């Protein structure tokens, strides 16, 4: 039976199959045998949030074995939150991910230069995964050169998909109602590879990035 890992979803984790449910610390309610990423989304930030109490809470949660990643952290120029605040919170989450040895899941909107600058200054030792990537092939190639993993959801550019090596590719549902298996089927069809090969490649990436 094929496995279709979903590395970023906001839906309840399925009873079977591997998925990582994204949650904010205050809404984190773990269930047995489910996996999670936990972090401060850039849309939610304010002068009061996160507080030092919130940071301590996140640090405790990230220690849990069910929490496989920090995030989604992010930089979003379309958000109402000032970018300097977003960068400050992003950097602190990135440092926490490095301290805990867990990957960082990233929400990125029109802030590529800022992200690359932060990556250069922080020199992370853990993988950075950009979720819900919708950019074009040229942007994908730029991010790949800087060591990122890219995760695609329901909406993506086919040329960008073709530019991503299978060894750096993840798939996800995010907030989409489309079954993760349908996304795998579409990606395999576009790449002109057997569905089994795609499943095997993404499973290997999950093992090396999220379950080392």
Asked whether residue 44 carries a pLDDT value surpassing 70, the answer given is: yes
By the 8 A CB rule, do 41 and 25 touch? no
Average pLDDT score over residue span 165-184: 96
Encode pLDDT of 63-74 as tens digits.
999 999 999 999
**CA–CA separation, 196 vs 57, rounded Å?**
40
**CA–CA separation, 212 vs 209, rounded Å?**
6
Tokens of 173: 């549902």
In CATH, what number does 6-209 get? 3.20.20.140
Encode pLDDT of 121-167 as tens digits.
999 999 999 999 999 999 999 999 999 999 999 999 999 999 999 99
Please report, to the nearest 10 degrees, the dihedral formed by the alpha carbons of residues 199, 12, 135, 194 taken in order.
Answer: 20
Tokens of 66: 């069910």
Q: Whose CA is closest to 134, among 148, 115, 153, 147?
A: 153
By the 8 A CB rule, do 93 and 71 touch? yes
* Per-residue b or e along 27-40, where b marks 16 or more CB atoms closer than 10 Å to that residue's CB: ebebeeeebbbbbb
Give φ, ψ of 120 to 5 degrees: -65, -40
- Predicted TM-score (pTM) of the model is 0.96
Tokens of 166: 């299978």
Q: Whose CA is closest to 206, among 164, 155, 167?
A: 167
Cα 69 vs. chain centroid, distance in angstroms? 8
């Amino acid at each position: 039976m094929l496995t279709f890992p979903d590395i970023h979803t906001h839906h309840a984790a399925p009873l079977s199959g591997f998925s990582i449910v994204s949650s904010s610390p205050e809404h984190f309610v773990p269930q047995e045998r489910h996996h999670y990423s936990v972090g401060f989304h850039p849309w939610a930030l304010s002068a009061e949030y996160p507080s030092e109490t919130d940071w301590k809470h996140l640090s405790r949660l990230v220690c849990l074995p069910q929490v496989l990643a920090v995030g989604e952290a992010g930089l979003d120029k379309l958000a109402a939150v000032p970018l300097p605040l977003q960068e400050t919170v992003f950097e602190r989450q990135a440092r926490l991910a490095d301290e805990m040895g867990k990957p960082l899941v990233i929400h990125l909107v029109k802030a590529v230069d800022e992200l690359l600058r932060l990556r250069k200054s922080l020199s992370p030792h853990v993988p950075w995964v950009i979720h819900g990537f919708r950019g074009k092939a040229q942007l994908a190639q730029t991010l790949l050169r800087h060591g990122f993993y890219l995760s695609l959801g329901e909406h993506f550019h086919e040329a960008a998909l073709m530019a991503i090596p299978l060894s750096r590719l993840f798939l996800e549902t995010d907030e989409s109602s489309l079954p993760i298996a349908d996304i795998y089927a579409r990606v395999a069809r576009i790449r002109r590879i057997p569905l089994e090969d795609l499943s095997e490649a993404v499973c290997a990436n999950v093992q090396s990035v999220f379950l080392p």
